[in-house]
Structure 1
Amino acid sequence: MNVWALNKTEDIKKLLIMLTSQLGKEAFELSERWQDDLSAVGLCKRGDPSLIAYIYTHGQETDRYGIHLLYPDLPDVDTRGIIDAKENVKFEQLVDLIIMHLEIVPS
């Protein structure tokens, strides 16, 4: 992934570089759902685009992030509209949430 080629704000590009450095190049995939949102990015579990962490900087304090954890549809369970949302999260907390939600084993 060439972060600098993405149409994102510097904060989001910096975040993606830090996440890739900490979690590894193969830890996640980018969702195409928010490719036109300059101040946000969607991270997917590798091989499962329905498990998403939506991360944004709009309306957050400096060096803080908002995150929405989105869940896939499950058989016999209505997961539509279930979102775990957090505001003004520090980078270290953000990494922990992403690892847990996307089931990443850090490299």
Structure 2
Amino acid sequence: MNIWAVNKTEDIKKLLIMLTSQLGKEAFDISERWQTDLSAVGLCKRGDPSLVAYIYTHGQEPDKYGVHLLFPELPDVNTRGIIDAKENVTFEQLLDIVAIHLDIVV
């Protein structure tokens, strides 16, 4: 994927490059769900599009990110609509959050 060709703000493109550099080119997929939101991106676990980290810059302090962690529906457990949200996190914090949520070995 050519990150510079993605229709996102420079902040999001820079973030994708940094995440790819730290986690690897094959660490996650980009969700098409938020492709029209220029200042946000959804990262999915490879092979599991229901496990998502939605990352955005709007409303955040400079060089900080907001992230919503979305969980898949599980049998016998009502997980529909469960979201864990964090605001104004640093890149280092975001890196840990994404790696843990998407089960990426660093």
- Do the structures match in fold with TM over 0.5? yes
C-alpha root-mean-square deviation of aligned residues, in Å? 0.4
Aligned sequence identity (%): 81
SS of residue matched to 2:50: strand
- For the residues of structure 2 that align with 1:81 and 1:43, how far apart are their CA atoms? 17
Which string of whole-angstrom CA distances, capped at 9 and with x for unpartnered residues, describes residues 4-31 of structure 1? 1111000000000000000000000000
- For the residues of structure 2 that align with 1:62 and 1:93, how far apart are their CA atoms? 15
2:18 maps to what in 1? 18
Q: Say how many residue pairs are matched.
A: 106
- For the residues of structure 1 that align with 2:23 and 2:7, how far apart are their CA atoms? 22
1:101 maps to what in 2? 101
Which string of whole-angstrom CA distances, capped at 9 and with x for unpartnered residues, describes residues 62-107 of structure 1? 000000000000000111111000000000000000010000012x
SS of residue matched to 1:66: strand
1:54 maps to what in 2? 54
What TM-score results when the alignment is normalised by the length of structure 1?
0.98
2:3 maps to what in 1? 3
SS of residue matched to 2:85: strand
Specify every segment of 5 or more residues in structure 2 that has no aligned partner in the other structure, as ranges.
none
- For the residues of structure 1 that align with 2:79 and 2:57, how far apart are their CA atoms? 26
What TM-score results when the alignment is normalised by the length of structure 2?
0.99
Specify every segment of 5 or more residues in structure 1 that has no aligned partner in the other structure, as ranges.
none
SS of residue matched to 1:69: strand
